[in-house]
Chains A and B, each alone.
Chain A
Amino acid sequence: DTAVSQTPKYLVTQMGNDKSIKCEQNLGHDTMYWYKQDSKKFLKIMFSYNNKELIINETVPNRFSPKSPDKAHLNLHINSLELGDSAVYFCASSQEDTSYEQYFGPGTRLTVT
């Protein structure tokens, strides 16, 4: 019954590797997001997808690429991982133009060694 789910919960990998994080929402929302939370707990939006169309792309390196196979999924692919990519990544979803609040997944803790 989880509204927004992410896999994996923990991801430990070496520099230079390519990895993916999956996100699924069963709320029927039309917009999904990826956030990065750094070690100081600061949250920054990375991407937003609305009806399978990218509508926000902050100053994120192009090593990061979101992929949305359908409205319920937004996966995050990261190429050539760097030490500075270590963080907790959160997926979220919302229904824009009606309720606006975002619902967050449990997070994926990425550690790059």
Chain B
Amino acid sequence: AQSVAQPEDQVNVAEGNPLTVKCTYSVSGNPYLFWYVQYPNRGLQFLLKYITGDNLVKGSYGFEAEFNKSQTSFHLKKPSALVSDSALYFCAVRGYNNAGNMLTFGGGTRLMVKP
């Protein structure tokens, strides 16, 4: 069975500084990896995905993520954080089981960007 770990419950960063939100995964076969963001009282918004190709994928709002197969990681990054980036971030992996495809989410990381 697939799994996702987000080791940090919260990440604090000052506005203008680079940010990293960590994610490691476990899945059989080639991983399909995703990042989502959730603002308070809202649904999840898709940020970016890795399916195949370049290990560095770019997504919405200036976010990017680096796929590292040897470390089974897919860390989310942004060169310069904004206060408006403060939200809950979820990493997810698409895997396979007897019932078909499924998306497994990590526990989420709360990003706090302070002015």
Q: Hey, which bits of chain A sit against chain B, CB under 8 A? A: 4, 33, 40-45, 48, 50, 55-57, 90, 92, 96, 100-107
For B51, list chain A residues within 8 Å (CB).
Answer: 100
Q: Does B56 contact A (CB under 8 A)?
A: no
For B108, list chain A residues within 8 Å (CB).
Answer: 41-43
Beyond A41-B88, A42-B107, A43-B90, whether A101 also contacts B46 by CB under 8 A is: yes
Beyond A41-B88, A43-B90, A48-B100, whether A107 also contacts B43 by CB under 8 A is: yes
Q: Report the interface size class on chain B.
A: 20 to 34
For B41, list chain A residues within 8 Å (CB).
Answer: 107
**Distance (whole angstroms) from the CB of A84 to the closest CB of chain B:** 19
Q: Is the Cβ of A57 less than 8 Å from the Cβ of B99? A: yes
Residue of A nearest to B44 (CB): A104
Q: Contacting B100 at CB < 8 Å: which of A41, A56, A92, A103? A: A56
Q: Hey, which bits of chain B sit against chain A, CB under 8 A? A: 32, 34, 36, 38, 41-46, 49, 51, 88, 90, 94, 99-105, 107-108
**Distance (whole angstroms) from the CB of A14 to the closest CB of chain B:** 24
Q: Is the Cβ of B100 less than 8 Å from the Cβ of A107? A: no
**Distance (whole angstroms) from the CB of B53 to the closest CB of chain A:** 14
Q: Is the Cβ of A55 less than 8 Å from the Cβ of B46? A: no
Q: Which 4 A-B pairs have the closest CB atoms?
A: A104-B43, A55-B100, A104-B44, A43-B105
**Distance (whole angstroms) from the CB of B30 to the closest CB of chain A:** 12
Q: Is the Cβ of B88 less than 8 Å from the Cβ of A56? A: no
A2 to B18, CA, bound (A): 33
Residue of B nearest to A109 (CB): B41
For B43, list chain A residues within 8 Å (CB).
Answer: 4, 90, 104-107
**Distance (whole angstroms) from the CB of B76 to the closest CB of chain A:** 15
Q: Which of A92, A96, A104 has the most CB of B within 10 A?
A: A104
**9 extra interchain contacts, Cβ-Cβ under 8 A, other than A41-B88, A100-B34, A101-B34?**
A41-B38, A43-B105, A43-B108, A45-B102, A92-B44, A100-B94, A102-B34, A102-B103, A104-B44
**Distance (whole angstroms) from the CB of B31 to the closest CB of chain A:** 12
